[in-house]
Homo-oligomer: A and B are copies of this chain.
């Protein structure tokens, strides 16, 4: 992983539609050289996948909530059960086990407040072993990026 690879990953993280030709010009390399570097990064698993990102304002999923959540207990069984269930919920975009007052931070995207209420009552709080939840509502998205600078 040299400087060229890092530049390449930076470019692909910003725009994966760039052709190897375009990348070769930006990186001052031949098309083949760029191609081989990309294939290597894919093989090694550094590049996990390529995805399309949608514009949340164009689809009806602009209501974002951060839910801080506690389990009633922290036995391995309860933790595993909760984590296996929560990943299945399509409204949950991100879920992190964290330090501090709460056990988990969840990022949830739904259509509106009513959809969130529905989600909370019929899906999230019906999961086993949930102690308490605390919802924080997004007012605006100041920054959202998938690009990790190397």
This protein's copies in its complex: 2
Return A79 CB to nearest CB of chain B, in Å: 10
Taking CB atoms, residues of chain B closer than 8 Å to A105 are 66, 136
Q: Which of A100-150 contact B (CB under 8 A)?
A: 100, 102, 104-105, 109, 136-150
Return A130 CB to nearest CB of chain B, in Å: 14
Is B87 within 8 A of A58, CB to CB? no
Question: 9 tightest CB-CB pairs across the interface, nearest first?
Answer: A12-B52, A95-B142, A90-B149, A95-B143, A16-B50, A97-B139, A99-B137, A48-B55, A97-B140
Interface size on A, residues (CB 8 A): 58
Taking CB atoms, residues of chain B closer than 8 Å to A83 are 142
Taking CB atoms, residues of chain B closer than 8 Å to A100 are 136-137
Does A75 sit within 8 A of B, measured CB to CB?
no
